[in-house]
Amino acid sequence: FYLILFPIIFMYLENTPYLKDNKSDHKNFVNFVDFSLITILFITCVFIQFSSHHYETIDWDINAYLITSLDISRGNLPLENQFENKPPLIFLFYYLFSLIGNGDLLPIKILNDLVLFLSVFVLYFLVKNLTQSKLEPFFCSLAFVLFTSNYWFHPGFSEIFSLLFISLSYLFISEKHNKTYKYIVSGFIFGLSTLVNIGTLIFFIGFSIIILLEKNKRLVNFLGFVLGLGFVQLFTLLIYLYNNLLNEYLISVFFIPISYAKTDFNFATEFNVFLTSLYEYNIFVYVTLAFATSNLIAILIKNLYYKNNDLEIRSFHGIIFFLNSFLFYYFAAKGYYHHLFFALFFVAFGISKIPKNSYKFLLYAFLTFGSFQVLDFYVPQTLNNFRNFSEIENNYPVKKVSNLVKNEINGPDTILSIDNILILYYLDRPNMSYIVHPALYNYEEIFRVLKKYNKIQDNEISFQISKNPKIIEGYIEDSLLKNYYKLPTELYLNEYINFYDRKKTVEIYIRDN
């Protein structure tokens, strides 16, 4: 890392100007190049992401989003009767996805892949607008595709939606004209990001710095940005207030995020685990990340060293958002890899600011070799998934078990699910517990807030079982299941149930009337 870092720093300290490719006068040729390069990025993204779709579950976040979103179809607002620890907009997206997918899971996964690719698409044009280069937009975007190519980033996390809104918001601000309306629109789009993941409010710091660093109308533009952001938040708040659900909304966007401050979290240790995993995954991707990160550090050093220099302000944007991204990772306080989506995006964006073409071409070589290795790893499974496309959905184990359970359940019957919660999605049933995501039972800071506002009980699972639901799904102590018999599900299971736990089972208990 330091062998890469030091030469770049010295190169900056020599005040080497940025080198840019000359803009082509042949507009049609440039459009053809853009189309061709974006097509390559799209195909690469598809071949990477589709390789995991034969697994029913990689990470259960997407499952929780889907189940919480189904409450909308019952005439309720998100978070009214089903709780997952996110603001309401993410559930509206998943409700729309489930309508498009007509109850199937595979189309929803494909739509998630498209959302991720849209961020790649925005990154391409962000770099293109700032550099007027032909190669840099492609390789910056390719870097982000490779950074997020491992299975850790395949499922549909809230961060991919928030990243799309943040990148679009920045794209509006980066437009060359200085009309105030673009800042209002940018603030509005950024507000949508905070309605998907409230933690992204940390990026308000970055947007504020960028706007206030501008030379003209900085205060008016800043107020326009705040107006757009404030409208989104106030409008949503009023909807929940009008429906007497203010507590439910504040639990998600304020009370629980505040409680995260009490979580024990070792930033250095957790981030080192990620770097080690990335190194073991692909050395070329790892070195590219190290190279690009050191470049952002060098940008910061240059801006601090040449205090009286007329630097290109936009060269500092990447480092501002990069630092915001690490604040997001730190305050999330869990160490999950998907909390690094934003950092990886802005590291890739920063590649465009490497000042010497010789260094750029070296990095491009690493990206090219890394691409071949990553695609060589994923393409065989992706092709197999393409060949068996019509059977993927039918082979999902929880879906097969759900079809079996349909014969045991009638209209008013209730279900308690605490593990394989996808069964609730396939059966289109609410969970008896207010909690949807199984992991939330183990988060003391979340559990404590929900209990304080009387959304759950001290022994929530035992309490719900005492109400004798018709179906119980999950690992339950036998002493709590005196009036239940176990449904045989072994024949319906296979190794594609869960990427991280391929021997996972589905435990279904039915009340014996």
Average pLDDT on 102-107 reads 92
Task: Please state whether 79 falls in left (phi above 0), alpha (psi between -120 and 50) or beta.
Answer: left
For residue 480, give every residue at least 6 positions away whose Cβ sits within 8 Å of its Cβ, in sequence order, or none: 462, 465
8 A C-beta contact, residue 302 and residue 291: no
Give CA–CA dist 47/380, Å, rounded. 9
For residue 423, CA distances in Å to 55, 336, 472 come to 15, 25, 11
Max Cα distance, the chain (Å)? 81
Tell me if residue 66 falls in helix, strand or coil. helix
Half-sphere exposure (CA, 13 Å, Cβ side) for 162?
Answer: 27
8 A C-beta contact, residue 192 and residue 232: yes
- β-pairing, 484-486 vs 415-417, is unpaired
Q: Which of 231, 438, 203, 410 is nearest to 326 (CA)?
A: 203
| Lowest pLDDT segment from 4-13, 155-164, 427-436 | 4-13
pLDDT value of residue 263: 64
Give CA–CA dist 170/173, Å, rounded. 5
Encoded tokens for 333: 């306080």
- Above 60 in pLDDT, residue 15? no
- β-pairing, 415-417 vs 471-473, is parallel
8 A C-beta contact, residue 228 and residue 188: yes
pLDDT band at 10 (very low <50, low <70, confident <90, very high): very low
Number of neighbours of residue 220 by Cβ within 10 angstroms:
13
| Lowest pLDDT segment from 87-91, 236-240, 338-342 | 338-342
pLDDT of 436-482, one tens digit each?
A: 999 888 888 888 899 999 999 988 999 999 999 999 999 988 878 88
pLDDT band at 17 (very low <50, low <70, confident <90, very high): very low
pLDDT of 107-151, one tens digit each?
A: 999 999 999 999 999 999 999 888 777 789 999 999 999 999 999
pLDDT of 179-225, one tens digit each?
A: 878 999 999 999 999 999 999 999 999 999 999 988 788 899 999 99
pLDDT value of residue 218: 87
Residue 211 host element (H or E): helix 203-212
Give CA–CA dist 282/286, Å, rounded. 6
